Amino acid sequence: MEQFTTRAMAWVFLSGWLSAAPVVGQWIEIGPPGVTQISDVAVDPSSPGTIYVATETGVQKSSDSGASWSVLSPSLFTGVRVDPVTSSTLYAFSAEAISKSEDGGLSWQTVYTALAGMTISSLALDLQSAGRLYVGLLGPRQCVVADFCGPVGGGVLRSDDGGASWQQLQTNKAVYSLRVDPLTGSTVYAGVSLGLFEGMGVYKSVDSGVSWRRLPQNDIFSLAIDPSNPSTLYASTSFDGIVKSVDGGESWSASGLAGNTIASLAVDPSSSSTVYAGTGSGVFRSRDSGASWHPIGLGGSYVSGLAFDPSSPETAYALVQPGRLFRFTTAPICAADPTTVCLNGDRFRVGVEWRTADGRSGSGRALPVTSNTGSFWFFSPSNIELAVKIIDGTTVNGRFWVFVGALTAVEYEITVTDSLTGEIRAYFNPRGRLSSFADTTAFPSVGASGLTEATDAVAPLASTAYLGATEACAAGPENLCLAGSRFRVEVDWRTKDGRSGSGRAVPLTSDTGYFWFFGASNVELIVKVLDARGINGHYWVFYGALSNVAYTITVTDTETGILKTYENSQGNLASVADTEAF
């Protein structure tokens, strides 16, 4: 650690675009050309890059991931499916009929025609039983009062022979959607209308549709099943965003994106903890089984369908209404390594380069902290020098925010790369400066870039007291024990609206830890205590703020009873080094 002054850091901003190479994770529109409406997309499970879409000009096929297209049928279809056992067998359906092709779409025959007044809403294939199909039906439309109409009755049909014959399984509910358990095949979920005044619900069958039971969660629309663990379900609702069940639908809990219109859901077949949501404002991704969500593209678009390529699971397709199809590579857009942390849904790549006065230099060694925060050490793994946090502030000002909390005055440059767009922000700290900083216009969700000016931080007030003998430090949920557990560190915070509380403590190394105030993934403050008695006879206290909330840091020397407090006023964001603390 070099000696320094505690003046505020003078930041220099550098920005630019990476354009020399294509960005991994970029969405690419793939057609098909000349269509204005695409209602469904399906992927051949045995042939990489082979996809089918249902359009107003009929079913179209691409064998090269959308580079070129051919029309297979002249008829208007609203949905298309590929037989999971024999991929040359296709099924396409409209509101009135289901057609089948056994030669890859060259010829078609009708295998079911809906009865008068009935409408075909959905078609699902059993991945475990060749030729087993389920069809969802909507009954005749009725109106209770003017402009308040809906289907009454409907049901589910099943065919065990590829559509040659059909069995009526359920008749008293209007069925909007069907999902079949990909592992057992005998478990089927039906999204149904509970009545014109009752909204939507889900029924479940565990005997291939012979009997049905209503599940407790109402107001469900889209439903996705984890292909590797089918007892895990994700569903979209009108008001609660996404809900999740880990027991096959017997109980549900909120899983984020409340307030969003969610039209489609899909679980990554190669990573069951990765879930995608198509919404009225683009595609969101969760890499932690729905605990947190991050936008990954197509912002402002209504994404009605999502599909993975089972034989190439890093490739996904998104259907944007009314008639646009996009391909997306889902491979990690940021790959963490010893000098890189990946933050905010792995969208942002962060690295640090440092230089000392005697000519030494190197790359900061990365230590991930939470999904939004990372830290770096330069000279010793126990000596954290820097923390970086990236917050999704797009609902506030349409941008992602970068926070930096410094525990060092070594010269360094932080480089943050938006892996989705290729845009870069570089933050340079000259030697001898120490500060925290927030760039609240760092990266746009989509569109133009912007920067803010750095402002000098106001040095927080420090005070010292003597308590006499005190108990040895014991780490707890609200305190850290640092520098050989000699020093106890606690934080109390206060907000402008009168809320207050104690920071929740998380140790990082023997000398460093952090506190969160409002959410475990949102680091607010990082604190370090170093034994520098060999330099100036004192222990040094450093802290770097990733928050401008008012707070008081209390550091207690449990051997001497000396207590020191550091006050940060509301709206201030600073790093502080007290090199004569104890």
The DSSP letter of residue 370 is S
pLDDT exceeds cutoff 60 at 344: yes
Alpha-carbon distance of 436 to 405, in angstroms, equals: 4
456 falls in which pLDDT band (50, 70, 90)?
very low
What pLDDT does residue 561 have?
82
pLDDT exceeds cutoff 80 at 145: no
Q: Please state the rounded mean pLDDT for residues 464-490.
A: 79
What pLDDT does residue 75 have?
79
pLDDT exceeds cutoff 60 at 566: yes
**Pairing of the two strands 141-145 and 148-151:** antiparallel
- Per-residue pLDDT of 415-437, as tens digits, reads 998 877 677 888 888 888 887 78
- Per-residue pLDDT of 208-218, as tens digits, reads 999 999 988 77
Q: Which residues contact 137 (CB under 8 A, 6 or more apart)?
A: 114, 118, 119, 120, 121, 154, 155, 156, 157, 174, 175
What pLDDT does residue 451 have?
31
What's phi and psi for 437, nearest 5 deg? Answer: -155, 150
Question: Read out DSSP for 183-217?
Answer: TTSS-EEEEEEEETTTEEEEEEESSTTSS-EEEEE
Contact 76, 56 (CB under 8 A): yes
In angstroms, how far apart are the furthest CA atoms of the chain? 92
Alpha-carbon distance of 582 to 257, in angstroms, equals: 47
What pLDDT does residue 129 have?
83
What token pair was written down for 197?
Answer: 């005044």
| Amino acid making up residue 112 | Y
What pLDDT does residue 560 have?
83
The DSSP letter of residue 421 is T
Mean pLDDT in the chain? 83
The DSSP letter of residue 7 is P
445 burial type by CB count under 10 A (0-12 exposed, 13-18 middle, 19+ buried): buried
Measured torsion, CA atoms of residues 391, 394, 399, 400, in degrees rounded to the nearest 10: 20
- Beta-bridged to residue 28, according to DSSP, are 327
Element holding 394 (H helix, E strand): helix 394-397
What pLDDT does residue 11 have?
35
Strands annotated E in 2-152: 12-17, 28-31, 38-43, 51-55, 58-62, 70-71, 79-82, 90-93, 97-101, 109-113, 119-125, 133-138, 141-145, 148-151
What pLDDT does residue 470 have?
58
Helix, strand, or coil (residue 536): helix
pLDDT exceeds cutoff 80 at 30: yes
Q: Please state the rounded mean pLDDT for residues 540-569.
A: 86
- Beta-bridged to residue 204, according to DSSP, are 189, 213
Measured torsion, CA atoms of residues 330, 334, 336, 341, in degrees rounded to the nearest 10: -140
pLDDT exceeds cutoff 80 at 363: yes
pLDDT exceeds cutoff 50 at 113: yes
234 falls in which pLDDT band (50, 70, 90)?
very high
Measured torsion, CA atoms of residues 155, 158, 163, 167, in degrees rounded to the nearest 10: -80
Dihedral sign from CA coordinates of 471, 473, 475, 479: positive
198 falls in which pLDDT band (50, 70, 90)?
low
Q: What does pTM read for this prediction?
A: 0.63
What pLDDT does residue 22 have?
32
What pLDDT does residue 306 have?
92
- Beta-bridged to residue 436, according to DSSP, are 405
- Per-residue pLDDT of 254-275, as tens digits, reads 888 888 888 999 998 888 888 9
What token pair was written down for 335?
Answer: 């790959």
- Per-residue pLDDT of 460-469, as tens digits, reads 445 544 545 5
Alpha-carbon distance of 110 to 164, in angstroms, equals: 10
- Beta-bridged to residue 529, according to DSSP, are 541
Alpha-carbon distance of 69 to 33, in angstroms, equals: 8
- Beta-bridged to residue 286, according to DSSP, are 275
Min mean pLDDT across 53-62, 112-121, 165-174, 334-343 is at 165-174
536 falls in which pLDDT band (50, 70, 90)?
confident
331 falls in which pLDDT band (50, 70, 90)?
low
Q: Please state the rounded mean pLDDT for residues 193-198.
A: 67
CA distances from residue 342 to 351, 371, 394, 521 in whole angstroms, order as listed: 9, 8, 19, 14
pLDDT exceeds cutoff 70 at 195: no
| Amino acid making up residue 336 | A
Helix, strand, or coil (residue 535): helix
Strands annotated E in 498-557: 500-502, 504-507, 512-516, 523-532, 538-545, 550-557
What pLDDT does residue 7 have?
28
